[in-house]
Amino acid sequence: MSSLNLDDFTDLIERPDGGVRRDAEARRERQIVPPGALGRLDDLGEWLAAAQSAVPVRPVERPRVVLFAGDHGIAELGVSSRAAGSAAGLVREVLEGGRPVAVLARRLGVPVRVVDMALDCDPGSLPEDVVRHRVRRGSGRIDVEDALTSEEAEAAFRAGMAVADEEADSGTDLVVLGDVSVGGTTAAGVLVAALCGTDASVVTGRGGLAIDDLAWMRKCAAIRDALRRARPVLGDQLQLLATVGGADLTAMTGFLLQAAVRKLPVVLDGVVTAACALVGQRVAFRAPDWWLAAHDSGEPAQAKALDRMALEPLLTHGVTVGEGTGGLLALPLVQAAAALAAELPERAEESEEPETSDGLAKAEEPAKPE
């Protein structure tokens, strides 16, 4: 019998410190730039202060990109512009520095960590630190079979928790979370549709490389069929992930919840991370307070999930490539908000009596006779 009880997260996860946030707001009101003049940067600075439980807020100095990787059997139906089982090639390109996330990370000086959960390749073809958490080779075809067994789902969830602990213990102060997958947006669409009670057509997007109309129809049908399998297990979030999620999505959900336990802020990238966050919200309602939506990718399932969690994206640049790219684009905004909140000077206190040019209080003049 499993010893993993997801209900424990409800008690373990606390909200960011509300008193600290009020202190951060009060400090902001005393600074030389009027409150509101910096737009959402004010909110960002206050959110980060509450997450850190520190006023003034500390700079974000040790961010990290964490990417969970996996192949999904549903890609065999032609729902993606990439060939089924080809996510390992994307991982190698990330590791070699050729993907957009790697270019941005190099420019920003942010390390990238890739965690293989279910790539369809020989584990010996990738570095040991990438494959050591792998649960299986590829996830099942969710329209006709479960993505994972119950044992594999628990192992994947615990792996995500372990990665969150590793990052928190190593001093990481903010994580940009993303995925490297083929077929992952289809699984994400199923999760969002199931949890929001919507039809497949409402959540079916075009994916990272803008599939054509025929592929979109295949994807919509795949989500519809998988959705029929998801609805009976909606009451059990781990079983839901085993049925229609996949090892990478299950690990990301575990990562998000454990990061909230460890008070480690997370920036969500695209539709896949949003779907995992939505599952996490169902497990522990306070958890989304530790997460920040980086950008609007244009995927309808992402918009649906973020709306349900009341998370407003920071950017709208139409970035659909995934792999943490949009999340990393938002990182400089978070760092800028922290710097402004901490370093803007406060207004000088006004003296109660007017001063003369030599700095002495001006004596009250005698009243003139009428």
Contacts of 138 (CB under 8 A, 6+ apart): 70, 71, 72, 73, 85, 118, 119, 120
Contacts of 173 (CB under 8 A, 6+ apart): 52, 58, 60, 61, 62, 63, 264, 265
Residue 174: strand pairing partners: 63
Q: How many CB atoms lie within 10 A of CB 289?
A: 19
- With residues binned 3-state (H G I as helix, E B as strand, rest as coil), the percentages for the chain, rounded to 5, are 50, 10, 40
User: What does the buried/exposed string (b/e) look like for 228-244 if buried means 16 or more CB atoms within 10 Å of the residue's CB?
Assistant: ebbeebeeebbbbbbbb
Instruction: Say if CB 300 and CB 205 are below 8 A apart.
Output: yes
Q: Can you tell me the distance from the alpha carbon of 88 to that of 117, in angstroms, rounded to the nearest whole number? A: 11
Q: Can you tell me the distance from the alpha carbon of 267 to that of 97, in angstroms, rounded to the nearest whole number? A: 21
Q: Can you tell me the distance from the alpha carbon of 123 to that of 24, in angstroms, rounded to the nearest whole number? A: 47
Q: Extract the tokens encoding 296.
A: 């609007």
| Residues designated catalytic | 323
Which phi and psi (to 5°) does residue 14 adopt? -105, 160
User: What does the buried/exposed string (b/e) look like for 110-136 if buried means 16 or more CB atoms within 10 Å of the residue's CB?
Assistant: bebbbbbbbbbbeeeebeeebbebbbb
Dihedral sign from CA coordinates of 38, 39, 43, 45: negative
